[in-house]
């Protein structure tokens, strides 16, 4: 079970201000392009699961992941997540022809075949995707990620911090944001749910 604290930032100006304040702790920036898949009859989503292929740094790396049973309450997200490295060339081929997913050798895809009964006879469709830029900061012995997620309908800004002590981290981050005059709110939707809704949260 992955547990993350998630706060929404209002806009680009707030995002710039926060990354400027955190700049002494900057560890790097990751560029992602994420694509999502399901069967034509929504076999995975009907069981609260999600299949994703993500490309990092212009397809230098590719990761396939299966997420299940997400909850997001008061800025704390909990989700079951399994992932593995994937050949970027195969990943790109699957984006272009999702039917290939049912035939590839992969621990994640074997799980989907075994647990969801999805084989070649069922097939997959690509649900589309979005870009995400993650700026990492090593602050207070934490890895704090400040995200800029670009959708066709707008850009969403968010802070994420994975921790086994979400309540403690939540208070630490809130105190820091308030002290520095950074407006924020608890995230109420996952990035994929925002994508599906086709509009930024109000």
**Average pLDDT of the residues of the chain:** 94
Question: In this predicted structure, what is the pLDDT of residue 174?
Answer: 98
**Closest C-alpha among 49, 34, 53, 190 to residue 111:** 49
Supply the pTM of this predicted model. 0.92
Lowest-confidence range among 9-18, 113-122, 189-198? 113-122
Beta bridge partners, 149, equal: 132, 156
Distance CA 106, CA 145 (A): 29
Q: Is the pLDDT of residue 198 over 80?
A: yes
Average pLDDT over residues 147-175: 97
Domain ranges, ordered by start, for the chain = 2-197
Question: In this predicted structure, what is the pLDDT of residue 60?
Answer: 85
Average pLDDT over residues 76-80: 96
Give the angle subtended at the CA of 89 by the CAs of 87 and 90, to the nearest 5°.
Answer: 65
Q: What is the pLDDT of residues 38-76, one digit of tens each?
A: 999 999 999 999 999 999 987 789 999 999 999 999 999
Q: What is the pLDDT of residues 141-158, one digit of tens each?
A: 999 999 999 999 999 999
**Closest C-alpha among 100, 75, 80, 78 to residue 90:** 100
Which CATH architecture does the domain made up of 2-197 adopt?
Beta Barrel (2.40)
Q: How confident is the model at residue 138 (pLDDT cuts 50, 70, 90)?
A: very high
Q: Is the pLDDT of residue 196 over 80?
A: yes
Q: How confident is the model at residue 121 (pLDDT cuts 50, 70, 90)?
A: confident
Question: In this predicted structure, what is the pLDDT of residue 112?
Answer: 92
């Amino acid at each position: 079970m992955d547990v993350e604290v998630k706060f929404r930032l209002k806009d680009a100006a707030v995002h710039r201000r926060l990354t400027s304040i955190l700049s002494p702790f900057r560890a790097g920036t990751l560029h992602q392009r994420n694509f999502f898949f399901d069967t034509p009859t929504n076999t995975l989503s009907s069981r609260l699961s999600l299949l994703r292929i993500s490309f990092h740094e212009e397809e230098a790396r590719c990761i396939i992941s299966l997420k299940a049973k997400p909850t997001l309450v008061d800025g704390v997200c909990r989700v079951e997540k399994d992932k593995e490295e994937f050949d970027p060339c195969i990943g790109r081929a699957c984006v272009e022809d999702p039917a290939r997913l049912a035939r590839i050798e992969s621990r994640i895809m074997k799980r989907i075949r075994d647990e969801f009964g999805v084989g070649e006879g069922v097939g997959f469709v690509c649900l589309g995707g979005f870009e995400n830029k993650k700026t990492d900061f090593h602050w207070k012995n934490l890895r704090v990620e400040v995200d800029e997620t670009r959708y066709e309908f707008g850009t969403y800004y968010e802070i994420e911090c994975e921790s086994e002590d979400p309540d403690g981290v939540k208070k630490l981050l809130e105190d820091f944001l308030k002290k520095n005059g950074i407006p924020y709110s608890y995230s109420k939707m996952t990035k994929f749910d925002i994508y599906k809704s086709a509009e930024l949260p109000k």
